[in-house]
Every structure is written in structure tokens, then in C-alpha cells.
Amino acid sequence: MKVVLITGMLASGKSIALRVFQDMDYYVIDNMPPSLIPRFMELAASATPKIDKVAFVIDIRAEGLFKDIDDAVEYLREATIFDMLFIDASDEVLISRYKLNRRRHITFEQDRISEAIRKEREMLEPLKEAANYIIDTSSTTEAELKEKIHEIYDESGEGTTKFLVNITSFGFKYGMLSDADMVFDARFAPNPFYIPELKPLSGLDERVSGYVLRFPETVWFLDKIRELVDYLIPYYKREGKTQLIIGIGCSGGRHRSVAIAETLKDTLSDPSLSVIVEHRDLERDTADDRIKG
């Protein structure tokens, strides 16, 4: 039986994820008490028709029952074909979602939202470290989240999943990409920001990408990243890793890093890989000329 345990921060998008698994013919249960999982698995094994794919959502809404999560994860790893998917978002985005919906934190109701999120994140950190896949929805639409989950999980019921490579462009001005496995600095490349006709565009525009990629040093840079990734992935797989997050940074996250991230995706054509590109800071305000793309 294939089991996916979906966990992560409240307001990060787990309910959307669960609906995606339901659409892929998984038997889904939200807010599953961890201690009941072994009993459910016994019932599922004898069910007619057969249940061969299950997705649980477990988070801190379980409160007092959450302490049993470690035992539940250990049981699932030993008894099933098992993946853990962690849905996350930045503190800033989570706070914005709470305010937009005028909600208080379900578990830490007496705390300020920021403090409640800090406590929740601390409780969930061991699960995040143990997760097979992590999806950050800070700058992801509902449609994009659905697409990512479909990219990762096949619908065959055989439990085979592709190795996920997440390439994320970002601007160093807005902070380091905190969850990246490896980060590459593209600020060495000639900057379209200083070309008047290219400045208002982004790395998604062919004119910008053509400018960035016409320099030999940029092509060399891309070739070396691809060679490194191709070399490392078999060893990551050998160690049980199922996801690689690559950060490509430039000053503002709008021109060079975007163009390079998109090109890198096109060069990673191995059919055993599922390659996703995100642009964390593409839509940031660029009106301030001090921001260099």
C-alpha cells in the first residue's frame, strides 16, 4: 500500500494538497490522530474494494495526540511504501493569510500570531527534516501547488516517484533562500538592469535571456551546474534523498537568476527527474533604482 503523510504549517495549503490526492484516487483523511493509524491500516488491508493508496493530513491540530506522531511515522515506514510531504510557507506569508482571513491560530490562541507560528514551527521541525518532499507555497498559486504535487506523485499506485529537482531564482537583496541544498551566485554575469530597454523586463523575456546567455562565462556557469547536478543526483538517491533544491541568486531576483534558472531546467532532461522552476522574487517592487536585477 502506498501512503503519503501530509504535514506542515497551518495555513500553508495542506487542505489543497489533500484535495489533489483525492483527485488522484487516494483515500484521504484530514486531521488523522496518529495513534489510530495502525488500526486504520488493518481495516484498509481487509477493505472491499481494496484500498491501495492513502493520504493522511496530520498537524498540530491533533494537540495532545500529536506526541504520537513519531511512533506513527516509524510504523508507516516499516509497514508500507511511505512518503512524507511537508507543506510550508514563510512566516511573513502565514501572518498575512491569518490577517486576510481574520483568524487566530487554532492551537496557540492566546499568543500573538507571530509567536504562535514560531512555536508551531519548532514543534514541526523534526518532521520537516525527515520529509521526503518539501513544498514552499509562499509565492505559489493554488494551481501551481496542484501542478507540483502531480509532478511528484504518479497515479499508478505502484509507489514509484521521480526525483524532484526544484530550481528557485531569488534576489540576495530579499534574503538568502533558506531551504536550498545548494546556492549559486549569478551576480558575476553582465546585468540587463543597466540596459534601458531590458531593465523593465524580466528573465522570462527572450530578449533578457538572450542577453544574459550570450556571454561565454554564463554558458560556462550553466554547464558546470548541470555537470555537478548530474554527478551528484545518483549519490543523493543512494542516500535515500528524493528532492534537491537549487537556488540561483542575483541582486534583485528579476533578470539574471530568472533567465539562468529557466535555462537550467531545459538542460536537465533526464526522464527520471521531475524539474520544477520557481521565481521567488520576480514580482517584487522594482521601482526603486537601487535594486539591481
More confident call, 271 vs 138: 138
Q: What is the pLDDT of residue 195?
A: 95
CATH code of the domain covering residue 98: 3.40.50.300
Domain match, 81 and 184 both: no
* Lowest mean per-residue pLDDT among 61-65, 166-170, 242-246: 61-65
Helix (H), strand (E) at residue 263: helix 256-267
Domain boundary residue among 161, 185, 201?
161
More confident call, 172 vs 106: 172
Q: Is residue 284 part of a domain?
A: no
Residue 72 CB partners (closer than 8 Å, separation 6+): 5, 34, 35, 37, 38, 58
pTM for the whole thing? 0.64
- Where residue 56 falls (left for φ over 0; alpha for ψ -120 to 50; beta otherwise) is beta
Domain match, 26 and 136 both: yes
Domain match, 179 and 58 both: no
Mean pLDDT of 62-87: 89
Helix (H), strand (E) at residue 205: none
Domain match, 118 and 168 both: no
pLDDT at 197 over 90: yes
Q: What is the per-residue pLDDT across 198-207, written as a single tens digit (0 to 9) for each?
A: 999 999 999 9
The percent of residues in the chain predicted with pLDDT above 70, rounded, is 93
Separation between Cα atoms, residue 70 and residue 181, nearest integer Å: 25
Q: What is the pLDDT of residue 158?
A: 43
Q: What is the per-residue pLDDT across 115-141, written as a single tens digit (0 to 9) for each?
A: 999 999 999 999 999 999 999 998 888
Domain boundary residue among 131, 161, 191?
161
Domain match, 176 and 134 both: no
Q: Is residue 46 part of a domain?
A: yes
Confidence bin at 5 (pLDDT 50/70/90)? very high
Comparing CA positions, the residue from 172, 137, 144, 191 lying closest to residue 248 is 172
Q: What is the pLDDT of residue 272?
A: 80
Domain boundary residue among 161, 190, 214?
161
**How many CB atoms are closer than 10 A to CB 226?**
15
Q: What is the pLDDT of residue 236?
A: 87
**How many CB atoms are closer than 10 A to CB 33?**
18
Q: What is the pLDDT of residue 183?
A: 97
Full domain range(s) for residue 269: 164-279
Q: What is the DSSP string of 95-150?
A: HHHHHHHT---SS-TTS-HHHHHHHHHHHHHHHHHH-SEEEE-TT--HHHHHHHHH
pLDDT at 229 over 70: yes
Domain match, 57 and 176 both: no
